Amino acid sequence: MQKFGGTSVADAERIKSVADYIARVHKRGNGPVVVVSAMGHETDDLLEVAAKVSKSRPGREMDMLVTAGERKAMALLCMALHDLGVPADSFTGSQAGVLTNGEHTKAKILEMRPARIEAALLAGRVPVIGGAQGVSSGREVTFLGRGGSDTTAVALAKALGAEACELYTDVSGVFSADPRVVPGARKLARLSYEEMLEMNAAGCPKPAMRSVEFARTHGVRLHVRSSFTWEPGTWVEKESAMEQPIVSAVVSDQSEAKLTVAGVADHPGVAAKLFRALADKLINVDMIEQNVSLHGTTDISFTVPHDDLEAAQQVALELQRELGASGVFADPDIATVSIVGAGMKTNPGVSAMMFEVLAAEGINIEMISTSAIRLTCVVRESAADRAVIALHKAFGLDWGGGL
Amino acid sequence: MQKFGGTSVADAERIKSVADYIARVHKRGNGPVVVVSAMGHETDDLLEVAAKVSKSRPGREMDMLVTAGERKAMALLCMALHDLGVPADSFTGSQAGVLTNGEHTKAKILEMRPARIEAALLAGRVPVIGGAQGVSSGREVTFLGRGGSDTTAVALAKALGAEACELYTDVSGVFSADPRVVPGARKLARLSYEEMLEMNAAGCPKPAMRSVEFARTHGVRLHVRSSFTWEPGTWVEKESAMEQPIVSAVVSDQSEAKLTVAGVADHPGVAAKLFRALADKLINVDMIEQNVSLHGTTDISFTVPHDDLEAAQQVALELQRELGASGVFADPDIATVSIVGAGMKTNPGVSAMMFEVLAAEGINIEMISTSAIRLTCVVRESAADRAVIALHKAFGLDWGGGL
């Protein structure tokens, strides 16, 4: 099972290069089964023209529109394969048996019935499936949402009993930190599903979190790798019985903002009221922190995506009187810095070490959130890169290092 | 039943304009049922990228690719309709029940099962169907070929028992001559199917000949009209019992070339051999003329599309010895000029008059071909426009005139 992302099939040259690679794999044995995303910025272009044509943009029609993107990519890839003498057939999500619910623009897979894919494989052909597509029980075309191609690939890998699911992209794997920030960042050979999920949550966008969850649930091994260099990448799989590195990666996210509702009465139901109101507006709250109450009042701070900051502030201001709050303060200039590692749970000194490293850099910690294998601090946005570099070094992750 | 061609939905503004018109029609009653082509040059763009990616371009994948074009247009049109408060649903050819044979890139409609279209109409919704698309019994996506959207519209009109099929395009109807050549050309209020077919054969490209044939077979009235001015256009329907105009239109075609195989033995089977060989190479021969034999040999002239001239010449040269021909002569600089009219068959003097008009203009006639309601002359390409203008005037077709 091989999945190629948008940058992997961005233009005619890239498509031919991917076809050449698939042809080599095909010659060595059966298959492969291929899932493909829309070319380059195709999906964005389609969304842009939709925005020009319509304000309402009903989900059913949006799904009909955007699925044209993968359709184009999969047909072109099959043509390129034919040129190389490889028999290949493209399949829409519907033809591939990706059965979903009817929730347009973000449909969920209910069942896989890949009879046509299996038949193609038996006939010695390479099936190329449009990613992120499905069909509902009402026979409507559905779209799984951005990043849905990864989910299609993982679901197909599971249904076909594939050995692993290779996710080809424009980077050579998952790194111990963003190489643009940390010159000594190194590619990780393997990560557990849990580590990958925590990295996703901490701001690492690829592979799509949902597909990692699906892979974990169904025990599908992922291999995140490059369609530009074809070198081996990063395996994401079940936690090994071997001893884990304490910290595997440092991840930073500058896409969030902080909101503080100050001086609210410290009695039951206050937080519930606030976060229910935010949830009703579909605002995605990430970290939440409530200070210790000293004088019968407390401050509640939480982070939201930048895009939701204005709406969240509006909600908080509307509730201010009811909550008895003394003020609502928005702070867009924050960043989160996280360390992730499966070994953290058995190493109690890790959080202390993280705080010491940041203190030594003179970086103030504004909020803290933890999970069993992740530790996240909110810092000034301007200090984020410095924090990542210092942590990466301190936890022995620099290329050639090792704790 | 309304069909909108590529220029009618070429960009966001055009799509909104078409949606506005459909909304007005919808408010006046039920429906309409809408068939839509791909936007502007979309199909050409898709073919271009296919040419960049692949030499072989297998039909199955080409159909998967080009059908992405109408998919985009139909989804966008539905979104624009939703904005105007009109409930609308897009349907692929497969969803609309357009069942075809499996001949990719030029599939033929075998049966229409528009259950979902009927259901949408019953629910008070506007169904918008992707033109030129279908599905084969092998559940493969098929494409009816260029101009296939007209065929989809006519077939749906028949299956749904629609009153008429409106073909919206960028011209306001079918004209008595090309208005770029003849300033006095006028829009024809009505034409018989037979006249329209003869005009198609004589070089008038729209509406697609195949859809006119389908409409004639099934008795569907066509209305060719403009999506830019929305004015009433040209009706194409059963020949009326009323007296017919002798000549309805003058049509010229400069897309053909002439080939002459000179001095071939005048005995049975010679022409058969030549035209079988041409047919085997899929060369489309239009007019054929064989001179009277005077000295046991004869000349065979025929016309082919410019694009096929080289291949046709090759075939003739290969057969030259076998046919005992003295030479093969290619002439690309010709044009055909035709007069078409249902009244011709009852007016024997029409051909004489055409020849006289051309003679008076000093235009030499190189070949002649006739049908019951059409008369075609091959002339020098450089004389074609002059011939059209003179014939248009002589047969009383100029605006304000009348024979």
Mutation site for A-interface testing, chosen from B43, B63, B78, B125 by largest number of A Cβ within 10 Å: B78
Taking CA atoms, B118 is separated from B157, B217, B282, in Å, by 12, 23, 40
Whether B234 maps to a domain, the answer reads: no
Mutation site for A-interface testing, chosen from B52, B72, B90 by largest number of A Cβ within 10 Å: B72
Taking CA atoms, A63 is separated from A23, A109, B65, B236, in Å, by 31, 15, 17, 37
Q: From the list B15, B55, B58, which residue is nearest A53 (CB)?
A: B15
Task: Give A231→chain B minimum CA distance, Å.
Answer: 24
Tell whether A300 lies on the interface with B, counting CB pairs under 8 A: no
Whether B230 maps to a domain, the answer reads: no
Phi, psi of B104 (to 5 degrees): -60, 150
The reported pLDDT for the residue numbered B222 is: 97
Q: From the list B82, B89, B95, which residue is nearest A54 (CB)?
A: B82
Residues spanned by the domain of B83: 2-170
Task: Give A164→chain B minimum CA distance, Å.
Answer: 27
The reported pLDDT for the residue numbered A402 is: 43
The model carries a pTM of: 0.86
Whether A141 maps to a domain, the answer reads: yes
Q: What is B104-171 written as a DSSP string? A: TTS--EEEE--HHHHHHHHTT-EEEEETTEEEETTS-EEE--TTHHHHHHHHHHHHHT-S-EEEEESS
Taking CA atoms, B146 is separated from A193, B94, B142, B155, in Å, by 50, 18, 12, 16
Whether B177 maps to a domain, the answer reads: no
What confidence tens digit (pLDDT) does each residue in B207-265 have? 889 999 999 999 999 999 999 999 999 999 998 766 677 899 999 999 999 999 998 88
Taking CA atoms, B289 is separated from A84, A158, A363, in Å, by 46, 67, 93
Q: What is A115-184 written as a DSSP string? A: HHHHHHHHTT-EEEEETTEEEETTS-EEE--TTHHHHHHHHHHHHHT-S-EEEEESSSS-BSS-TTT-TT
ipTM: 0.81
Q: In sequence order, which residues have a C-beta less than 8 Å from that of residue B73 and are 6 or more positions away?
A: B9, B15, B36, B37, B38, B39, B42, B130
Phi, psi of B395 (to 5 degrees): -90, 15
Across the A:B interface, residue pairs with CB atoms under 8 Å apart total: 121
The reported pLDDT for the residue numbered B241 is: 67
Tell whether B321 lies on the interface with A, counting CB pairs under 8 A: no
Q: Are B75 and A89 in contact (CB < 8 Å)? A: no
What is the gyration radius of the CA atoms in chain A, in angstroms? Answer: 23
Q: Are A49 and B74 in contact (CB < 8 Å)? A: no
B225 near B167, Cβ under 8 Å? yes
Which residue, among B298, B201, B290, has the nearest Cα to B212 in the 3D structure? B201
Tell whether A45 lies on the interface with B, counting CB pairs under 8 A: no
Q: One digit per residue, pLDDT tens: chain A, 403 residues?
A: 999 999 999 999 999 999 999 999 999 988 899 999 999 999 999 999 999 999 999 999 999 999 999 999 999 999 999 999 999 999 999 999 999 999 999 999 999 999 999 999 999 999 999 999 999 999 999 999 988 999 999 999 999 999 899 999 999 999 999 988 998 899 999 999 999 999 998 988 888 899 999 999 999 999 999 999 999 999 999 987 666 778 999 999 999 999 999 988 877 788 888 999 998 888 888 888 887 666 778 888 999 999 999 999 999 999 999 888 999 999 999 999 999 998 887 787 888 899 999 999 999 998 888 888 899 999 999 999 999 999 999 999 988 644 4
Q: Determine the Cα–Cα distance for residues A1 and A223; give it in Å rounded to an integer.
A: 10
Q: In sequence order, which residues have a C-beta less than 8 Å from that of residue A369 and are 6 or more positions away?
A: A287, A289, A375, A376
A259 alpha carbon, distance to own chain's centre: 24
Q: What is the length of chain A?
A: 403
Task: Give the CATH number of the domain where residue B112 resides.
Answer: 3.40.1160.10
Q: Determine the Cα–Cα distance for residues A148 and A52; give it in Å rounded to an integer.
A: 24
Residue showing tokens 């003498």: A85
B175 near B188, Cβ under 8 Å? yes
Task: Give B63→chain A minimum CA distance, Å.
Answer: 8
Which residue stretches of chain B have pLDDT < 50?
401-403
Q: In sequence order, which residues have a C-beta less than 8 Å from that of residue A335 and are 6 or more positions away?
A: A252, A253, A254, A256, A378, A379, A380, A381, A383, A384
Q: Are B64 and A90 in contact (CB < 8 Å)? A: yes
Whether B56 maps to a domain, the answer reads: yes
Which residue, among B115, B231, B109, B111, has the nearest Cα to B166 in the 3D structure? B231
Tell whether A119 lies on the interface with B, counting CB pairs under 8 A: no
Query: Using a CB-CB distance cutoff of 8 angstroms, which residues of chain A are in contact with residue B135?
Result: none
What is the residue type of A198?
A: E
Taking residue A266's Cβ as centre, other Cβ atoms within 10 Å add up to 19
What is the side-by-side order of every strand in the sheet holding A367-371?
A: A249-253, A334-340, A374-380, A367-371
What is the side-by-side order of every strand in the sheet holding B2-4?
A: B88-91, B126-130, B34-36, B2-4, B165-169, B222-226, B234-237, B190-192
Q: Are B50 and A76 in contact (CB < 8 Å)? A: yes
B151 near B214, Cβ under 8 Å? yes
Per the structure, the count of domains in chain A is 1
A215 near A164, Cβ under 8 Å? no
A323 near A272, Cβ under 8 Å? no
Tell whether B138 lies on the interface with A, counting CB pairs under 8 A: no
Taking CA atoms, B377 is separated from A64, B86, B191, B312, B391, in Å, by 49, 51, 22, 21, 12
Query: Using a CB-CB distance cutoff of 8 angstroms, which residues of chain B are in contact with residue A65?
Result: 71-72, 75-76, 79
Task: Give A212→chain B minimum CA distance, Å.
Answer: 30
Whether A247 maps to a domain, the answer reads: no
Phi, psi of B378 (to 5 degrees): -90, 130
Taking CA atoms, A231 is separated from A154, A172, A175, A189, A204, in Å, by 21, 7, 14, 12, 21
Q: Are B82 and A46 in contact (CB < 8 Å)? A: no
Q: Least CA distance to B45: which residue of chain A?
A: A72
Which residue, among A224, A199, A310, A195, has the nearest Cα to A259 in the 3D structure? A310
Q: In sequence order, which residues have a C-beta less than 8 Å from that of residue A267 and are 6 or more positions away?
A: none
Tell whether B96 lies on the interface with A, counting CB pairs under 8 A: no
Whether B38 maps to a domain, the answer reads: yes
Q: Determine the Cα–Cα distance for residues A37 and A8; give it in Å rounded to an integer.
A: 9
Whether B202 maps to a domain, the answer reads: no
The reported pLDDT for the residue numbered A403 is: 41
Which residue, among A306, A14, A18, has the nearest Cα to B52 in the 3D structure? A14
Question: What b/e sequence results for A1-30 when a residue is b if at least 16 CB atoms lie within 10 Å of its CB, and e otherwise?
Answer: bbbbbbbbbbebebbbbbbebbbebbeeee
Q: Are B58 and A49 in contact (CB < 8 Å)? A: no
